């Protein structure tokens, strides 16, 4: 096509969003080549800037295609353009970036292997045929390999592998898909991998893969090094293998996630509606929770849902291509609830006696990043664990210029940084009761701060108001230029508003969870607030508090929570059918009588536990929220509901009448599921009744209780679009770091 220079024009195009480190410049270059557009592209502080010259219809088409054909990993927030004078450019080029990069464009989350790389992986004649470290600017690791910024190869864990001539050529060629792909490698110059078994020589290369497949097919447990840590894998359909994994990992009942070969295999296991399918294929490749169609023994005991994900590293694809079982349990390699192992030496030690073999790749992992967990719901996708593929994305913008660091809570810890008003939330870290998790916490604080050139002793630190929280003590350790404590449930409510930038929106906010330190020093968890982020939140209502026996044990034994909630209702006699409460119940009662180790709480989470105990969950829970999840599952199976209600009494909602009715109904032989459903609906009715009483247009819910999908559906039916929930950060304590920042930014 001959360019008509007389009619040629020029435009300046500015593109913001996730457009750096995702192959955007090579994409623009190739598109410009194709359309014979002249000019240049570069990364600047705000994103990508383009100067384009061509005839006007071509420029229109070029702009259109920039939007339509952008790389899968890119996410364009805005594309603006304005006419400019022509410079008489003769070709199109990629120019050196100028200006300081804004914090938001510095590092992208890790990306799944792309279609083009996957094709090459399977192409016999390709020089990266069956090479598990294949990647390009559209795919591959990012956050998990970066050691320092700027994001250049010498600052990644790939620095130990100098590029061979062909790789170097691709890396330097702007028209190549691997132009400036920092982790680029090939079998000649890149990392290798081996299969290790104790007392046997290591196997390398393709033989390692073949042996891993053979072991998995035979029911063995294989540790597989992935993007952000090691997974323990076994055949999900092999009940013996799954049981062995549980026993060796000391993981009693918490569900395992499953990696399926492809979406078709996912559909054999779960109901995959359009939105869940979209999440499954999404660029984060998360674990998607969906309704189970089958029961796989031991995978997700007592759970109507299964968590499924697609392969996301080349290695995963090679395993499935090689004939690995089409559904693999893929669980974080650790003992119990410790953080995922990510260093080879730690993995060898920690997994000794758990894994039968380790599939170890040489490329080091810079930091642990677990799989993310998401679920589709009545208000769109929700995030239950924000980690690989999602961290470290910007989740909110705050009107504050000074840097802030929020330390989150002690359970499901995640931290957040606010730099130049941009909030970056870390990956999921874990429960800070474990020493290794505290180490991971410290590494993450130090790592994120270093990445954004912050010294923790210079920034304002925000933490939970609980004086005994580990994260609070860590705040002492870090120092900081200033310290600020934010009440737990206000942080939950604020997190929802911060995601939307709604700092002045006056809301009725519900913070329902298991435990959080209250203004009065008691443990809260059933709190209702009126107010806004800017004006602050006033506690206007709450669950009627009760004394619970046994400190932490109250959360482990639902019958102990029941002893507290039933104190006025059923002083004795819970040991007979249908209740059959174990001795723990009496123990709890005695502790209450003698007033030893009991504490006052308005926790809805513990109320769920008490109702679960009345419905038959009388054993010890093995993970947080288990009894509530169980109660939701049995309620889902019910076709009718018993009618219950909370009594609104001043600023309290009182469950005593409801609990007495549950006891009566159980004795009368009503199905536990029918009772459980009635309880869920009563809670939704109470929220609706409080909404009516306060008459505030906007309603917000957050806190671990609202991960309950059944409760959310009931609320959607009552409140519709007036209700706002968390979309980007978890409703559980993984999201409070965002709320902490939002409230601290407005003081
Ligand atoms: Zn690729
Ligand atoms: Zn090479
Ligand atoms: Fe909480």
Ligand 3 centroid to Cα of residue 181, in Å, is 40
β-pairing, 422-425 vs 416-419, is: antiparallel
Q: What percent of the chain has a predicted confidence (pLDDT) above 90?
A: 82
Question: Residue 76: its pLDDT value, please?
Answer: 87
What is the pLDDT at residue 95? Answer: 85
Greatest mean pLDDT range, 147-156, 452-461, 517-526: 517-526
Distance 76 CA to ligand 1 centre (A): 19
Q: How many angstroms does the Cα of residue 323 sit away from the middle of ligand 2?
A: 28
pLDDT value at 341 more than 80:
yes
Residues within 5 Å of ion ligand 3, judged at the Cβ atom: 513, 516, 733
Ligand nearest to the CA of 187: 2
Local confidence band at 405 (pLDDT 50, 70, 90 cut-offs):
very high
Ligand 3 centre from 409 Cα, in Å? 8
Q: How far apart are CA 245 and CA 222, in angstroms?
A: 10
Q: How far is the CA of 307 from the centre of ligand 2 (A)?
A: 37
Going from the Cα of 179 to the center of ligand 2, the distance in angstroms, rounded, reads 13
Distance 557 CA to ligand 1 centre (A): 49
pTM: 0.93
Using a 10 angstrom Cβ sphere, with 0-12 exposed, 13-18 middle and 19 or more buried, the burial of residue 401 is exposed
For the segment 25-79, what is each residue's pLDDT rounded down to a tens digit? 889 999 999 999 999 998 887 789 999 999 999 999 999 999 999 988 888 888 9
Structural contact between residues 737 and 414, judged by C-beta atoms closer than 8 angstroms: yes
Residues across the chain: 747
**Residue 5 pLDDT > 50, yes or no?**
no
488 CA from centroid of ligand 3 (Å): 6
**Nearest ligand, CA of residue 170?**
2
Kindly give the distance from the C-alpha atom of residue 163 to the centroid of ligand 2, in angstroms, as a whole number: 5
Backbone angles phi, psi at 124, to 5 degrees: -50, -40
d(CA 527, CA 505): 19
pLDDT digits (tens, 9 = 90+) for 603-619: 999 999 999 999 999 99
What pLDDT was estimated at residue 129? 98
Is there a cis peptide before residue 392, judged by omega within 30 degrees of 0?
A: yes
Residue 99 pLDDT class (50, 70, 90 cuts)? low
**How many helices and strands in the chain, by DSSP H and E?**
22, 31
Strands 305-309, 257-260: pairing is parallel
Tell me the average pLDDT across 143-166. Answer: 91
Q: Are 252 and 246 in contact (CB under 8 A)?
A: yes
Binned at pLDDT 50, 70 and 90, residue 4 comes out as: very low
Instruction: Name the average pLDDT for the chain.
Output: 93
What is the distance in A from the centroid of ligand 1 to the CA of 23?
Answer: 9
474-518 residue pLDDT tens: 999 998 899 999 999 999 999 999 999 999 999 999 999 999 999
pLDDT for the residue numbered 668: 96
As beta bridge partners, residue 193 has: 361
pLDDT in tens, 542-592: 999 999 998 788 899 999 999 999 998 876 678 889 999 999 999 999 999
Ligand nearest to the CA of 135: 1
Ligand closest to the CA atom of residue 178:
1
Residues around ligand 2, an ion, CB closer than 5 A: 164, 167, 186, 188-189
Q: Which ligand is nearest to the CA of 517?
A: 3
- 659 pLDDT exceeds 70? yes
* Distance from Cα 112 to the centre of ligand 1, integer Å: 8
How many angstroms does the Cα of residue 337 sit away from the middle of ligand 1?
33
Whole-number Å distance, alpha carbon 128 to ligand 2 midpoint, is 9
Residue 284 CB partners (closer than 8 Å, separation 6+): 109, 372, 374, 388, 389, 390
Q: How many CA atoms lie within 13 A of 659 on its CB side?
A: 24
From ligand 3's centre to the CA of 515, what distance in Å? 6
CA 165 to ligand 3 center in whole angstroms = 53
Structure tokens at 175: 């028209």
Q: Which pLDDT score is estimated for 701?
A: 98
What digits encode the pLDDT tens for the residues 214-236? Answer: 999 999 999 999 999 999 999 99
Rounded distance between C-alpha atoms, residue 689 and residue 541, angstroms? 12
- Share above pLDDT 70 across residues of the chain, in percent, rounded to a whole number: 97
> What span, in angstroms and rounded, lies between the C-alpha atoms of 236 and 301?
13
Give the span between the Cα atoms of 608 and 561, in whole angstroms: 9
Say yes or no to pLDDT of 105 above 80.
Answer: no
Q: What is the pLDDT of residues 705-731, one digit of tens each?
A: 999 999 999 999 999 999 999 999 999
């Amino acid at each position: 096509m001959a360019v008509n220079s007389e009619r040629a024009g020029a435009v300046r195009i500015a593109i913001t969003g996730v457009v750096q480190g995702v192959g955007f410049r090579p994409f623009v270059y190739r598109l410009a080549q194709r359309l014979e557009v002249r000019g240049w592209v570069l990364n600047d502080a705000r994103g990508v800037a383009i100067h384009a010259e061509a005839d006007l219809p071509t420029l229109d088409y070029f702009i259109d295609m920039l939007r339509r054909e952008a790389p899968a990993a890119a996410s364009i927030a805005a594309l603006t353009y304005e006419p400019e004078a022509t410079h008489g450019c003769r070709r199109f080029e990629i120019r050196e970036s100028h200006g300081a990069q804004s914090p938001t464009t510095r590092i992208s989350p890790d990306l799944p292997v792309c279609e083009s790389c996957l094709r090459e992986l399977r192409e016999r004649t390709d020089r990266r045929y069956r090479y598990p470290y294949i990647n390009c600017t559209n795919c591959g690791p990012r956050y998990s390999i970066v050691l320092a910024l700027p994001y250049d190869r010498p600052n990644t864990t790939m620095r130990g592998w100098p590029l061979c001539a062909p790789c170097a050529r691709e890396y330097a060629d702007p028209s190549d898909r691997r132009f400036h792909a920092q982790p680029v490698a090939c079998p000649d110059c890149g990392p290798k991998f081996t299969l290790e078994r104790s007392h046997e020589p290591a196997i390398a290369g393709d033989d390692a893969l073949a042996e891993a497949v053979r072991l998995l097919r035979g029911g063995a447990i294989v540790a597989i090094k992935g993007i952000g840590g090691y997974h323990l894998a076994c055949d999900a359909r092999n009940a013996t293998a799954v049981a062995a994994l549980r026993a060796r990992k000391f993981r009693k009942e918490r569900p395992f996630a499953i990696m399926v070969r492809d979406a078709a295999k996912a559909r054999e296991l779960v109901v995959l509606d359009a939105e869940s399918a979209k999440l499954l294929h999404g660029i984060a490749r998360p674990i998607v929770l969906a309704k189970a169609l089958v029961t796989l023994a031991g995978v997700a005991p007592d759970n109507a849902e299964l968590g499924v994900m697609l392969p996301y590293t080349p290695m995963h694809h090679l395993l499935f291509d090689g004939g690995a079982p089409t559904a693999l349990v893929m669980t974080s390699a650790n003992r119990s609830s410790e953080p995922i192992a990510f260093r080879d030496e730690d993995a060898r030690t920690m997994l000794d006696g758990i894994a039968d073999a380790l599939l170890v790749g040489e490329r080091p992992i810079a930091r642990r990043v677990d799989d993310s967990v998401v679920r589709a719901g009545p208000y769109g996708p929700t995030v239950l664990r924000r980690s690989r593929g999602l961290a470290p994305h910007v989740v909110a913008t705050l009107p504050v210029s000074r840097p802030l660091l929020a330390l989150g809570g002690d359970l499901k810890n995640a931290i957040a940084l606010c730099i130049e008003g941009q909030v970056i939330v870390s990956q999921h870290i874990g429960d800070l009761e474990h020493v290794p998790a505290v180490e991971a916490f410290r590494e993450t604080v130090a790592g994120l701060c270093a990445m954004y050139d912050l010294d923790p002793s210079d920034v304002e630190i925000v933490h939970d108001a609980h004086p005994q929280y580990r994260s609070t003590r860590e705040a002492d350790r870090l120092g900081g230029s200033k310290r600020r404590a934010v009440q737990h449930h206000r942080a939950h409510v604020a997190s929802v508003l911060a995601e939307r930038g709604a700092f002045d929106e006056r809301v009725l906010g519900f913070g329902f969870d298991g435990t959080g330190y209250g203004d009065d020093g008691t443990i809260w968890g059933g709190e209702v607030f009126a107010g806004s982020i800017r004006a602050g939140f006033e506690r206007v209502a709450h669950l009627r508090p009760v004394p619970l026996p046994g400190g932490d044990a109250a959360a482990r034994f639902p019958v102990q929570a029941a002893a507290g909630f039933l104190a006025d209702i059923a002083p004795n006699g819970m040991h007979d059918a249908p209740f059959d409460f174990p001795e723990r119940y009496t123990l709890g009662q005695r502790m209450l009588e003698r007033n030893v180790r009991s504490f006052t709480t308005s926790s809805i989470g513990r109320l769920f536990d008490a109702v679960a105990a009345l419905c038959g969950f009388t054993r010890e829970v093995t993970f947080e929220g288990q009894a509530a999840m169980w109660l939701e599952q049995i309620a889902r199976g019910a076709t009718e509901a018993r009618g219950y209600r909370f009594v609104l009494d001043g600023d309290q909602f009182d469950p005593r009448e409801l609990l007495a009715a549950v006891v009566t109904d159980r004795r009368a032989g009503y199905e536990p599921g029918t009772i459980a459903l009635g309880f869920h609906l009563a809670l939704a009715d109470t929220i609706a009744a409080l909404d009516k009483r306060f008459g505030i247009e906007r309603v917000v819910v957050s806190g671990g209780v609202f991960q309950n999908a059944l409760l959310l559906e009931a609320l959607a039916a009552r409140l519709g679009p007036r209700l706002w929930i968390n979309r980007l950060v978890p409703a559980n304590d993984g999201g409070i770091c965002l709320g902490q920042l939002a409230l601290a930014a407005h003081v």
